[in-house]
Structure 1
Amino acid sequence: MNDENAPAHGIEADLPAIDFHSPGRFAIHNPETGGTIASSREPAPFILGDHSHLERFHTPEQAQAHTLALLQQATQSLCLFTPDLEPLLYNHGSVLDACTRFLLASPKNRLRILLRDPTRPVRQGHRLLQLAQRVTSNLHIRKLNPDNINEESAYLLADGRGLLLRPQPDLPAGYALYNDPGRARQQQARFDQAWDTSLLDPDLRSFLL
């Protein structure tokens, strides 16, 4: 599972580029029914802040396992950049439980979600939107400013050192880093810049209030 090569995206010149070749299209975008997958999920067996190898993945199941591992182990900060809260990855009971524990562990913990289009999760329902209705102080969801067209990927940041990145959001393929503060910091800067110009969409406002 270890691989020294993975996708390069938003990496500054002071860090070596990560080469990545997609194995093909897998259609990670989810069915219009918006249903969740009932099967249980297990997190990937890697430790946030300790595991130094880059982990490349290709399947939805691997993407789910790395996502859950980062969500369960974060203790300070989580940032999610997603096109539409991708139900295949995030609309699952294990994800809801991990995010709930994270938010309730400390009032200083913060989960920020930045998405391109809230129409689908608002219309079909989503567990993280329901959580945002209950935990309003440290879970924030906003819409990407349409003027910000430079970010094509989907990614998750955890505690300033963990990063899961998929260069093409309609594919499950990507890579996970569990202890790379340099790349996580650079991706965090991209997220913060997009967050500073983000919007509170009327659909989100009416749903969350």
Structure 2
Amino acid sequence: MNDDSAPLNETEPDLPAIDFQSPGRFSVHNPASDALPPRLLEPAPFRLGEHAALERFHTPEQAQAHALALLQQAQSSICLYSPDLEHLLYNHSSVQDACTQLLLANPRNQLRILLRDVSRPIKNGHRLLNLAQRITSNLHIRKINPDLPSEDSAYLLVDRCGLLLRPKPETYSGYALYNDAGRVRGQQAQFNQAWDTSLLDPDLRSFLL
């Protein structure tokens, strides 16, 4: 007896086999990073307060070496007169570490920076600006008064005997002195005069607050 309610035993028609060929394995090549590890700076091998000779330099690397040597040996004060905090010379972890060490060693130690243009380091970022946000008591940054005559040179003064001077800031030629109290005294007087007439730029004030 047939059960009409039982499902019909139908077979599905045969389908043609699919011919699939694997295209193989693919290798994923991520582009190499363009970022290079920060280059270590080596300070010049001269002692602050001891080396008497005038040391001339003509390349950015030589200027960096002398600047770092002076900064790392500072014991009481650093004064920087710069067009725009000169990224190549002063925007480096070794420079920041040297300045931090000076400022934290004694609350009377000072770092004073005079700039002709504050917009560029604010826009591009700078380690010394970041440091100024953290250490506000003895690190001060001001703008050279544009309405008064000012020097065209760029220089770094360390304690009472160290000087790095570049007569033309657009080049890296200049000289470094490690033990010349007389010349540093004269340059310090010019810096102090410019500092006394300097301004606190509104953009810089907003950035540091």
TM-score category of the 2 structures, normalised to the smaller one: 0.7 to 0.9
For residues 145-177 of structure 1, the C-alpha deviation after alignment (integer angstroms, 9 at most, x for no partner) is 012333000000000110000000000000000
Q: Which residue of 2 aligns with 1:174?
A: 174
Tell me how far apart the structure 2 counterparts of residues 36 and 162 of structure 1 sit (CA, whole Å): 33
* TM-score relative to the length of structure 1: 0.82
Tell me how far apart the structure 2 counterparts of residues 118 and 150 of structure 1 sit (CA, whole Å): 16
Q: CA deviation at 1:38?
A: 1.9
| Count of residue correspondences | 175
For residues 17-62 of structure 1, the C-alpha deviation after alignment (integer angstroms, 9 at most, x for no partner) is xxxxxxxxxxxxxxxxxx9982000100000000000000000000
Q: Which residue of 2 aligns with 1:183?
A: 183
Higher relative contact order (CA 8 A, sep 6+): 1
RMSD: 1.4
Q: Which residue of 2 aligns with 1:60?
A: 60
Tell me how far apart the structure 2 counterparts of residues 105 and 46 of structure 1 sit (CA, whole Å): 22
SS at match of 1:198: coil
AA matched with 1:146: P
Q: Which residue of 2 aligns with 1:144?
A: 144
Tell me how far apart the structure 2 counterparts of residues 62 and 201 of structure 1 sit (CA, whole Å): 32
CA contact (8 A) 2:75 2:102 kept: yes
Tell me how far apart the structure 2 counterparts of residues 131 and 173 of structure 1 sit (CA, whole Å): 28
Q: In structure 2, list runs of 5 or more residues that go unmatched.
A: 1-34
AA matched with 2:205: R
CA contact (8 A) 1:103 1:110 kept: yes
Task: Classify 1:69/1:115 alpha carbon distance in 2 versus 1 (closer, same or farther; 3 Å).
Answer: same
SS at match of 1:112: strand
AA matched with 2:120: R
Q: Which residue of 1 aligns with 2:23?
A: none
Q: Which residue of 2 aligns with 1:124?
A: 124
Q: Which residue of 2 aligns with 1:48?
A: 48
Q: Which residue of 2 aligns with 1:101?
A: 101
Tell me how far apart the structure 1 counterparts of residues 84 and 36 of structure 2 sit (CA, whole Å): 14
In our comparison, the structure showing a higher alpha carbon Rg is 2
Tell me how far apart the structure 2 counterparts of residues 174 and 46 of structure 1 sit (CA, whole Å): 16
1:183-202 alignment, distance < 5 Å: 183-202=183-202
* TM-score relative to the length of structure 2: 0.82
Q: Which residue of 1 aligns with 2:159?
A: 159
CA contact (8 A) 2:154 2:169 kept: yes
SS at match of 1:43: coil
CA contact (8 A) 1:80 1:156 kept: yes
User: Percent identity, aligned pairs only?
Assistant: 71
AA matched with 2:159: D
Q: Which residue of 1 aligns with 2:203?
A: 203
CA contact (8 A) 1:36 1:92 kept: no
CA contact (8 A) 1:36 1:87 kept: no
SS at match of 2:78: strand
AA matched with 2:73: Q
Tell me how far apart the structure 2 counterparts of residues 154 and 37 of structure 1 sit (CA, whole Å): 29
Task: Classify 1:60/1:50 alpha carbon distance in 2 versus 1 (closer, same or farther; 3 Å).
Answer: same
